[in-house]
Amino acid sequence: MKYRGYSDFSHGQTDRIGVLVTNLGTPDAPDTPSLRRYLKEFLADPRVVEVPRALWWLILNGVILRIRPKRSAAAYKTVWTEQGSPLLFHTQEQAKQLQKSLAEEYGDDVVVRFAMRYGSPAMSDVIDEMLQSGVRKLVLFPLYPQYSGATSGSTFDALAQEFMQRRWLPDFRFISHYHDDAGYIDACAQQIESFWQQHGRPQKLIFSYHGVPKKYLTQGDPYHCECHKTSRLIAERLDLGKDDYLTTFQSRFGREEWLQPYTDETLKALPDAGVKNVQVFCPGFSADCLETIEEIGEENREYFAEAGGEHYAYIPALNSTVEHINALTAIVKRELQGWSLDHDETARQRRAAARQQHYGELNNPDEST
């Protein structure tokens, strides 16, 4: 059979709304074989690396996957916890809190699940489980505030791929970005303010975002502009002047030019320009992960100190703060508008029974409800 379907479908079952929260993905363990598997899947995605396929296959398999897995495994070891990868447990907790928060209004009509674009839990497995539980309307919610084809676009590709193999498609909604959402901006501002209450203000606040190759910007990807807009909105909310903050891009990969200014080079240059007290916040990372804990929390701290910097602090990502969960809840609720949810349990059961009887009489199990 080419298209997957369900042979045990029952016409009486209640339709549910599913919210699939996703993030990038992370290796299963901080060791070389797990990193090789993870990086192979991630870096083979043509949305992530836009190099002609045959050439990239040779570079990826011949060079990168021979060197990088060992190096990255060592870095992952430094952030690994008893609960596993930070990105995994933060995303799991975010989904749990979002489910709880949406249940206050929708009860169990809305199911929230999380999956990873690469690695596990795989989107395919989670989508299958959601459909089995009666989800007929599906919201895809990648936790990337700023849209890029390499991240949000690729997550949509994975969803489309999955449903190309299925017989019966649900209704869909796709939250492609939320970089200027008022609740999200407020959550970022409150995270920074509460850090200031404990540690004081810096001379300069650095907003560091994950980079992408510069050519994605010149070819029409809105990511760069959305990052700048997020920074501006947070700065306005905090009453910062133009000289009080900077937007930079981190995690460069490969030899080509990426979005500038680079976070590491900026931090190396700031002390000479008289800036010796900085704090770094990463609005584009909805959860702390290798790229924030190790790269910003450790590696860049050293660059800054070596260059003569005196005070350096990393402000944690939004993770599962109440403000963040409230913002995510409001974004989902806005997306759900127009999708009728039947709150009247008795009426719903009566209709389901009537439908079952109707289709039983028709003896036509393929008829849709």
Q: Which is nearer to Fe ion, 183 or 284 (CB)?
A: 284
CA end-to-end distance (rounded Å), the chain = 23
**Which residue(s) pair with 246 in the sheet?**
206
Residue closer to Fe ion, measured from CB, 81 or 260: 260
Of the residues 63, 169, 182, 225, which one makes contact with Fe ion according to CB under 5 A? 225
**72: nearest Cα among 120, 42, 35:** 35
The residue nearest Fe ion at its CB is: 225
Provide the 3-class DSSP secondary structure of residue 5. coil
Judged by beta carbon, residue 176 or residue 277, the one nearer Fe ion is 176
**Closer residue to ligand L6N33NVT (CB): 148 or 279:** 148
- Choose the one of Fe ion, ligand L6N33NVT, none that binds residue 212, judging by a C-beta under 5 to 8 angstroms depending on kind: ligand L6N33NVT
Residues 159-178 touching Fe ion, rule: CB under 5 A, are none
Residue type, 354: A
Alpha carbon distance 242, 87 (integer Å): 32
- Between 136 and 179, CB nearer to ligand L6N33NVT: 179
Scanning 60-68, 139-147, 173-181, 217-225 for contacts with Fe ion by CB under 5 A, the matching segment is: 217-225
Q: Which is nearer to Fe ion, 74 or 225 (CB)?
A: 225
* DSSP state for residue 336 in the 8-state scheme: H
Check binding of 347 to Fe ion (CB under 5 A). no
- 3-class DSSP state for residue 271? helix
CB of 137 to ligand L6N33NVT, least distance (A): 27
Which tokens hold the place of 337? 């508008």
How distant, in Å, are the alpha carbons of 12, 229, 337, 341, 369 from that of 350?
A: 10, 50, 25, 15, 14
CA distances in angstroms from 142 to 47, 159, 266, 284, listed in the order given? 15, 11, 29, 12
Q: Is 324 annotated as a binding residue?
A: no
Residue 224 is a binding residue for Fe ion (CB under 5 A): yes
In the complex, least distance from residue 290 CB atom to ligand L6N33NVT, rounded to whole angstroms:
4
84 sits in the region (left: phi over 0; alpha: psi -120 to 50; else beta) called: left
Query: Which of ligand L6N33NVT, Fe ion, none does 285 bind, CB closer than 5 to 8 A by kind?
Result: ligand L6N33NVT
Convert 8-61 into a string of H (helix), E (strand) and C (coil): CCCCCCCCEEEEEEEECCCCCCCCHHHHHHHHHHHHCCCCCCCCCHHHHHHHHH
- Please check if 291 is assigned to a binding site: yes
Q: Which does 225 bind (CB under 5 to 8 A by kind): Fe ion, ligand L6N33NVT, none?
A: Fe ion
Count how many residues are written for the chain: 369
Contact region with Fe ion (CB under 5 A), list: 128-136, 201-209, 216-224, 358-366: 216-224
For binding to ligand L6N33NVT (CB under 6 A), which residues are involved?
24, 26, 48-49, 68, 72, 85, 87, 144, 148, 150-151, 210, 212-213, 251, 253, 284-285, 289-291
DSSP class of residue 107 equals G
CB of 79 to ligand L6N33NVT, least distance (A): 7
Residue whose structure tokens are 């804990």: 293
Q: What's at 364, amino acid-wise?
A: N
| Contact positions vs Fe ion (CB under 5 A) | 224-225
Instruction: Summarize the annotated binding site for Fe(2+) as residue ranges.
Output: 210, 291
